[in-house]
Amino acid sequence: MPALTDALRERPLVLDGGLGTHLEERGNDLSGRLWSARLLRDDPAEVRATHAAFVDAGADVLITASYQLGFGCGIDDDEVEALLRRSVDVARDAGGRFVAASVGPYGAMRADGSEYTGDYDLGVAELRAWHRRRLHVLADSGADVLAIETIASEAEVEALCAELDGLGMPAWISLSASSTAFADGSLRDALAVAASGSGVIAVGVNCCPPEDVDRALAQAPAGVDTVVYPNSGEQWDAATRRWRGTPGVPTAAVQDWVSRGARLVGGCCRTTPTHIAALSAAIRG
């Protein structure tokens, strides 16, 4: 099997969609602090089946259920490490062509929505220390690439790039385009910092409205592959705790994204295997 980086030269690769979304559609309760990672411990077969549904829909790359897992997330460190490794094994068993080990932001572990603000009150050194062990475990897990995703501030990008140095593992770095930390126009600078990281094969955005993809592609560094996987286009209503709008993936825009450098394209929150099947068909023409 060719390496993921070799496969990217052949054609754009299709990422999966909202793992948590489809787990909930299958009747699972993800209301706890660990989100979908709880099922890695309690029902890994359900996680495997959900991954497999995205493979059947045409996904080339499966992103693991490790997004919410970090040391200090409320469970024993040895169990965190075991679950991180299990997340890769479960995705591999689901039959995906490539497995991307999810590295969520510090805010994901806090489970308070701060991955949309980057307001952690931590410096680069502290963020490096927090990410370090998880990066090393996942780099040693048998994954094909690290999916460093929903990163909400330039400081966290700097911390992750510093920790990637010497790790010897390919990675993509995807920013939270909806983060208020990038509202002042600093998205371009953060993407440039991300692209400078050792082993970084693509930079881009995820967990954002589809229209934010155009902004990211316009600001991505020239000559660097991009990764984009927006949400369904619905808007979260915090007052009623409901999603508003009609879910969907703008398949008409996908070829434009690809023509502008997107080589890894998928969906994030609220996107389902049905959405990924449509996206896959659009990419494959």
Beta strand 200-206 with 171-176 is parallel
Write down the residue that tokens 């440039």 correspond to: 192
Instruction: Work out the average pLDDT over 42-54.
Output: 97
Instruction: Work out the average pLDDT over 3-24.
Output: 94
Name which of 19-23, 33-37, 142-146 the model is least confident about: 33-37
How many Å apart are CA 91 and CA 84, to the nearest integer?
Answer: 11
In a 13 Å sphere around the CA of 196, the CA atoms on its Cβ side amount to 12
pLDDT in tens, 114-156: 888 888 889 999 999 999 999 999 999 999 999 999 999 999 9
Residue 97 phi, psi (nearest 5)? -65, -40
Burial of 223 (0-12, 13-18, 19+ CB in 10 A): exposed
How many Å apart are CA 214 and CA 66, to the nearest integer?
Answer: 28
**What's the predicted TM-score (pTM) here?**
0.94
Please report which confidence band the pLDDT of residue 241 belongs to, taking 50, 70 and 90 as the band edges.
low
Instruction: Let me know: does 62 contact 77? Beta carbons within 8 Å.
Output: no
Instruction: Work out the average pLDDT over 58-67.
Output: 97
Asked if pLDDT for residue 108 goes beyond 90, the answer is no
How many Å apart are CA 21 and CA 273, to the nearest integer?
Answer: 10
Residue type, 204: G
Asked if pLDDT for residue 55 goes beyond 80, the answer is yes
